[in-house]
Amino acid sequence: MLYEENMPTMQKNDNIRNIAIIAHVDHGKTTLVDVMFRQSGVFRDNQAMDDRVMDSMDLERERGITIAAKNCSVRWKGVKINIVDTPGHADFGGEVERALSMVDGAVLLVDSSEGPLPQTRFVLKKALDASLPILVVVNKIDRADARPQEVLDEVYDLFIDLGADEDQLEFPVLYAIGRDGVASPVLEEPGKDLACLFDLILERIPGPRFDPAASFQMLVSDLGYSDYLGRLVIGKVKAGLLQEKADLLCMGEKDQLAFRPSKVQAYEGMQLKEQAAVEMGDIVVLAGLNKVSIGDTICLKENPVRLKRIDVDEPTVSMRFTINTSPFAGREGKIVQSRKIKDRLEKEALTNVAIQVEESEDKDSMVVKGRGEFQLAIIIETMRREGFELGVGRPEVIYKKVDGKLLEPLEHVYVDCDEAFMGVVTEKLSIRRGKLLNLVNNGSGRVRMEFSVPSRALIGYRDEFLTDTKGTGIMNSLFDGYGDYRGDFPTRFSGSLVCDRQGQAVPYALFNLEPRGRMFMRPGDAVYEGMIVGEHNRDNDIDINPCKEKKLTNMRASGKDEAIILTPVLPMTLEMALNFIRDDEMVEVTPQNIRLRKLELSAQKRHTMSARKKKVEGK
């Protein structure tokens, strides 16, 4: 079998440029792509369009983040520029790595105040390792706290730290206000539009290189799914010309499969357009092949040449999805059957290659593996909005055993907080087996710390971190490989307040229960036996009755029946629920409510199990 390496007599296709846009969360990349669309003529002058057109999912628009890597194209001076908008959140890093395999250069977007942050470092390292040329755009220079020169120095330090060569260090710099659609190579001279960015892309990013003598070859970099066409195969044409109705061969790791594409498409603006032929270097979307994986090679049947595979990082977190077995099952959701939940998860796995779906011994549950609990929470939230009712267990990290030693996934955690909170953050992370790697105090009142922390320590800690730093702390984490198991530690220092009967929560009962802990319920909410209605102040669980009403008598006295004023209840979000639960608890997710409950609803059975466990432990 032939493997393609550096080929002689390579040529460039100057009609195409393939670029990725790299940035941390909220540094303005999707907004910049919007303006590039407007100024390159993708939209008519009078055409109505939404802001952030690349954020097509409802969840992306609500949260202001990019979740899935997406492709589009613009044309400038007769050259087609394929743009890949990549996610900036660490949990969706798998999308970033695949996107870089399709491009020939990258635009690094950095906030003029915050500077290069951890996710920027992670993606930039991948781009530098792939020897991609980089253009740097310092964005949001109109911010009141902008410090563009210092940020540029930090970018240079980052390049040097990541081992960039001399050519990569001589990167061009533009100063931009993405929201206004202006950029300029000189900080003191504001630009009028993004023409200098487009010209710089054509000048500094090379066209895709190819061997003119080679036949059609394509590397599968991403997968999509269409309800009409089935599975879609996305990748860059590495060599040759692809004709419609060509007989192709898909070369997997072990087997080969011959097929003829039912449709050949390429990106024109935001849309996919059918193509009679696709030239070398363009990003193509093929339909008509169901059994395919990321990294496979697609080539002509008569001339099979295998390309070097790209790897997809393995998942580090798993979560159990089950049918809803609570007394309220079927009341609020339209889709409750285990078969339909399983079909929906398997469909998700077709389009999202960073997750894996496995059947468990119990037929009513599935195990879903992914890169982080946030990624899995996005899947649950999407299903909830589609009308599904389901139960999900606590996120668990995936351990490995190598030579008899237990290994666990580790995270490199970056913390930026006020100096006053440095002690509490260090203390909390050290309890969770974290190790302080670096501490930088610039004398500005804020400190930057780096920790090596087990992945399981961060499940449930993010909300606590925001509380400890009074909402002013910034925490980012990157997967840092597997390391030795660091030992046990308490995951939660509080217990649960568990309802002992079915009914409706009553203000009188909730008021008298408030000294016991923090309540999750409002008056009038429906409750059932085994449902968690609050967080106990102590570390043990207690059964309570939130339905207890005041016993009325014929006697009355002034001041006896004052109006009850309850402490406001913070609405329960999916992330809060997943972070809160223990191993013997789960989250009930319906289109209308998120409830916490015990795995075993019966109070009597839970007491019996607890007594048996204490007996076994010899207590």
- 374 pLDDT higher than 70: yes
**225-229, 257-261, 405-409, 472-476 — most confident range:** 405-409
What is d(CA 336, CA 341) in angstroms, rounded to the nearest whole number?
A: 7
Q: Structurally, what CATH architecture does the domain formed by 11-209 represent?
A: 3-Layer(aba) Sandwich (3.40)
Strands 173-177 and 182-184: antiparallel
Work out the average pLDDT over 78-89: 74
Give the distance between the most distant pair of CA atoms in the chain: 102
Domains 211-300 and 400-484 share a fold: no
Predicted pLDDT at 279: 79
**pLDDT surpasses 70 at 89:** no
pLDDT of residue 208 exceeding 80, the answer is yes
Q: What residues does each domain of the chain span?
A: 11-209, 211-300, 317-397, 400-484, 496-551+563-616
Q: How confident is the model over 516-551, as pLDDT tens digits?
A: 999 998 999 999 999 999 999 988 889 999 999 887
Lookup result for tokens 């942050």 = 117
Which of 493, 492, 484, 500 is CA-nearest to residue 459?
492
pLDDT of residue 533: 93
Share of the chain above pLDDT 70, in %: 87
Q: What's the average model confidence in pLDDT over 73-100?
A: 71
Between residues 115 and 367, the one the model is more confident about: 367
- Residue 362 above 80 pLDDT? no
CATH number of 496-551+563-616: 2.40.50.250
| d(C-alpha 481, C-alpha 407), whole Å | 10
Which residues pair with residue 440 across a beta bridge?
A: 448
Higher-scoring residue by pLDDT: 118, 295: 295
Q: What string of DSSP letters covers 161-224?
A: HTT--HHHHS--EEEEETTTTEEESSTTS--SSSHHHHHHHHHHSPPPEE-TT---EEEEEEEE
Dist CA 129 CA 100 (whole Å): 10
Let me know: does 190 contact 184? Beta carbons within 8 Å: yes
Q: What is the mean pLDDT of the chain?
A: 81
Report d(CA 27, CA 295) in Å as an integer.
Answer: 30
Pick the CATH number of 400-484 from 1.10.3720.10, 3.30.70.240, 3.40.190.10, 3.40.50.970: 3.30.70.240
Residue 458 has pLDDT above 60, yes or no: yes
Task: Outline where DSSP puts E strands in 442-545.
Answer: 446-454, 474-484, 496-499, 503-504, 517-519, 526-527, 531-536, 542-544
**pLDDT (0 to 100) of residue 9:** 65
Q: According to the per-residue pLDDT averaged within each range, which of 95-104, 165-174, 181-190, 527-536 is highest? A: 527-536
Residue 224 has pLDDT above 90, yes or no: no
Q: What is the pLDDT of residues 21-79, one digit of tens each?
A: 888 766 677 778 778 777 766 544 444 444 444 444 455 444 444 444 457 788 888 88
Weakest-pLDDT range from 18-27, 42-51, 350-359, 432-441: 42-51
Contacts of 412 (CB under 8 A, 6+ apart): 118, 437, 450, 451, 452, 477, 478, 479, 480
Q: Give CATH superfamily name and number for 211-300.
A: Translation factors (2.40.30.10)
Work out the average pLDDT over 106-119: 82
Task: Name the more confident of 167 and 552.
Answer: 167
Q: Report the alpha-carbon angle 519-523-526, nearest 5.
A: 90
* pLDDT at residue 25, as a whole number: 67
- Is the CB of residue 35 less than 8 Å from the CB of residue 194? yes
317-397: in CATH 3.30.2010.10: no
Which pLDDT belongs to residue 193?
83
Phi, psi of 514 (to 5 degrees): -55, -35
